[in-house]
A and B are shown apart, each in its own frame.
Chain A
């Protein structure tokens, strides 16, 4: 049984329909990429999972139907969503952002237990825990957003364009850490990317969205190996 299963999910923003029946699955321990052009519905698909957009259709997470659950309920079930634009608390400190990541698990106890693991992945954070999050560099902000999502030990990590606006070396570092979390801790990841090349390197499978539908899907090797798909959807 897959950890996450979407069946015929439709979503709209007011009069504009963003998803026209998306179906996909993410297995436990998998890294799956969600690719496609701007406006294809990648972000909306993540929102449909985390409960932050109105939708119809089926969403099953860990065997439960969650289509009608609130974002808070989904966070408690173990869905961590790092949204577009990172969603940091820019006025709070690095440490306070991490505390908020642990909010649903009893922040003090959880953070005390998790901090060493987090600082292991992001050593710079331990020396700069009192810095205001809004003053971090773009790459650091993305890492803090990732760290905050990890503190609660989610079952599913959803990343929305972690590479956006970042230098290639920072992007590589972030994907390296995501890969390590997957292989070491068995973390399941659903990652949205415009940068198909780097996403396919770390994901085992990918879905390509086009105007709110799944246009094609397959393993990363299949997608990369198919010249037609590469040219029309992946753009490299």
Chain B
């Protein structure tokens, strides 16, 4: 039982990282109806930025905060420069732009920082503590806590601020938003900025365990896709629950089902994705259109 709970706890920590990235995907999907394939590479790039900042003598949390600010500006910039010109094109055009961005950022990261694997510091001590016979690593608790805090802050922003309300309005009905005086373009850019911030958090939380390399988020992005689909691609709550659930499921399967081990984890995630799409395409919390005319 203790071991089982241990697996659940460490699954939640990994799941929180998937949840953050999945939420980033959902944010952009809700506003633009497009999956941002570059979300993972954007996260990787910003994690390298954090690494550089720390290499230049900044301690962890200032570097963390500065990285989030840079990620935000970068996300806004990407939307204004790359997405805006194709905004009114068919969705597939925008998707291809994000795939192009994925490849470009991956190349750029390798070109600037090299392809060799780098170690990335963790802000949390590498020790464990015990709660009722369950050994919990401080690392896991910290990762979970940071991701959860980010998600909660974002939730509060959308729930309680005028700007957050305006962003939800834009995601719901762009034409009506224009008529009530919202600058729709900037709200979309802001969405990209916030998504990039979420990605940066995910990247910095993942890097201590997966290590820094230009493709470090590739697998995590696939887990995040699976999590977002599991939760319902247009549901922010779903993305978070889906991410946590996927983290736990994968961890438990890896630990208890022999043939899954560590090699078959990714195919398992893809199997989850496929099953959800077959059985319940709208996901656990997906949107069922409620509308009377």
Contact = CB atoms under 8 A, between A and B. Distances in A.
Nearest to A76: B181
Nearest to B287: A91
A75 B293 CA distance: 26
Given A75-B181, A107-B162, A88 B176 contact: yes
Contact of A103 (B171, B172, B182, B291): B182
Decide if the interface of chain B is mainly helix, strand, loop or mixed: helix
Contacts of A216: none
Contact of B166 (A91, A103, A141): A103
A134 interface: yes
A168 interface: no
A135 B292 contact: yes
B158 to A, nearest CB: 11
Contacts of B177: 89, 100
Interface in A72-131: 72, 75-76, 80-81, 83, 87-92, 96, 99-101, 103-104, 107-108
A74 B180 CA distance: 9
B292 A83 contact: no
Given A89-B169, A90-B172, A136 B180 contact: no
B175 A83 contact: yes
Contacts of A76: 181
Nearest to B234: A91
B292 A138 contact: yes
Interface string A137-151: 110010000001000
A188 to B, nearest CB: 17
A134 B173 CA distance: 12
Contacts of A219: none
B172 A75 contact: no
A71 interface: yes
Interface string B147-191: 000000000000000100110110111011111111100000000
A72 B162 contact: no
The CB with the most chain A CB atoms within 10 A, among B172, B173, B179, B182, is that of B179
Contact of B172 (A52, A92, A107, A148): A92
A76 B175 CA distance: 16
B180 A75 contact: yes
A152 to B, nearest CB: 8
A50 interface: yes
B84 to A, nearest CB: 15
B244 to A, nearest CB: 24
B290 interface: yes
A195 interface: no
Given A89-B173, A90-B173, A100 B165 contact: yes
B176 A87 contact: yes
A141 B165 CA distance: 19
Contacts of B291: 90, 134-135
A71 B184 CA distance: 10
A36 B87 CA distance: 35
A138 B293 CA distance: 5
Contacts of B179: 50, 52, 71, 75, 80-81, 83, 87
A137 B180 contact: no
Contacts of A100: 165-166, 169, 177, 180, 182
Contact of A96 (B165, B181, B182, B289): B165
Contacts of B180: 75, 100-101, 103-104, 148, 152
A66 to B, nearest CB: 14
Contacts of A83: 175-176, 179
The CB with the most chain A CB atoms within 10 A, among B166, B175, B180, B291, is that of B180
Interface of A: 50, 52, 70-72, 75-76, 80-81, 83, 87-92, 96, 99-101, 103-104, 107-108, 132, 134-138, 141, 148, 152, 165
7 contacts: A52-B175, A71-B178, A89-B168, A90-B173, A91-B168, A91-B171, A135-B291
Interface of B: 162, 165-166, 168-169, 171-173, 175-183, 289-293
Given A71-B179, A76-B181, A108-B162, 11 more contacts: A52-B179, A71-B181, A81-B179, A83-B175, A87-B176, A92-B168, A103-B162, A103-B180, A107-B165, A134-B289, A136-B292
